[in-house]
Amino acid sequence: MDEILPKKAPVTTMTKSPAQASRAGSSALQQYLRAVGAIAWKDLAAELRSRELFSAMLVFSLLVIIIFNFALELDIATRRSVTSGVLWVTFAFAGTLGLNRSLGIEREQGGLDGLMLAPVDRTAIYFGKAISNLAFMLGVEAVTLPVYSFLYGINLFHPGLLGVILLGSIGYTAVGTLLATMSVQTRTRDMLLPILLFPLVLPVLIAAVKASGGILAGDEAASVMSWVNVLIVYDVIFLAVAFMVFDFVVQE
């Protein structure tokens, strides 16, 4: 399949030939970005119409918060120390739900095969799916945070905290998208994803919990920044690795 299909061919416009596209470097990059955008948009458009995934993730994360409320007795003193932990556990669990669904649906309905037939670089599929997964996760977080603030009277709208949540979510979806693409192709499927994913994203979760906790407690910037740096490093490393190995995940 690899030999027959041109690697970086246009996906949305048919006016340019692949040869033309690869002649000019910037235009090849544009084509690639357009392919990534098209795949991400496909997921978002489908989701905007059905709202299945988003509502499931959202209801799930609200339920997790309610369970935590009673499991941990979130009184004022406890809240101060465990808020960041509760938030990240909620995001991590809701995240696996989203990842499984987003890749599972591709698998069931043959979407992955369709995407692989498309004359685009395979890694464009990865980035497209990762972007849509990130968008779902951020969407859920965007609703969970104000609800949490409302329920517990904690102001979570600190720009630093939002930045940490963005960085943590990027790391989570970077690895999650890669592993979900693998796990949906196995016999055990949904069951396998958290087992594969959680030990690998542990650094993200630790750093994100520590950074969020530090910001909420009003620690000085230097101590929070060391955790933020960990998040940035993790994001860069795992995006790069996923970029390199994704081709092997979708090969037939």
Partner 1 sequence: MQAKPTTLKVLDIVSLLLLAVAAYLALFYAPEEATMGQVQRVFYFHVATAWTGLLGFVAAGVAGILYLIRKEERWDIIEVAAVEISLVFFFITIVLGSIWARPVWNAWWTWDPRLTTAAITELVYIAYLMLRQGIEDPVKRARFGAIYTILGAISAPVTFFVIRLVRTIHPVIIGSGDPGAQGTFAMTAGMKVAFFFALFTFTVIFVDLFWNRILLGRLSARVEELKLSVLR
- Chain residues that interact with partner 1, rule: CB under 8 A: 175, 178-179, 182-183, 185-189, 192, 195-196, 199-200, 202-203, 206-207, 210, 226-227, 230, 233-234, 237-238, 241, 245, 248-249, 251
Cβ proximity to partner 1: between 134 and 182 the closer is: 182
Cβ proximity to partner 1: between 89 and 138 the closer is: 89
- Measure the CA dihedral 115/36/7/240, to 10°: -110
Cβ proximity to partner 1: between 105 and 225 the closer is: 225
Query: What is the CB-side half-sphere exposure of residue 127 using CA atoms within 13 A?
Result: 17
Cβ proximity to partner 1: between 38 and 249 the closer is: 249
Per-residue exposure over 93-105, b if at least 16 CB sit within 10 Å of its own CB, e if not: bbbbbbbbbbbbb
CB of 178 to partner 1, least distance (A): 8
CB of 232 to partner 1, least distance (A): 12
For 15, phi then psi, to 5°, come to -75, -30
CB of 192 to partner 1, least distance (A): 6
In SS3 terms, 146-213 reads as HHHHHHHCCCCCCHHHHHHHHHHHHHHHHHHHHHHHHHCCCCCHHHHHHHHHHHHHHHHHHHHHHHHH
Cβ proximity to partner 1: between 156 and 179 the closer is: 179
Cβ proximity to partner 1: between 87 and 242 the closer is: 242
For residues 73 and 168, the answer to whether their CB atoms sit within 8 Å is no
> How long, in residues, is the chain?
252
Q: Give the whole-angstrom CA distance, residue 171 versus residue 247.
A: 19
CB of 145 to partner 1, least distance (A): 24
CB of 61 to partner 1, least distance (A): 24
CB of 136 to partner 1, least distance (A): 22
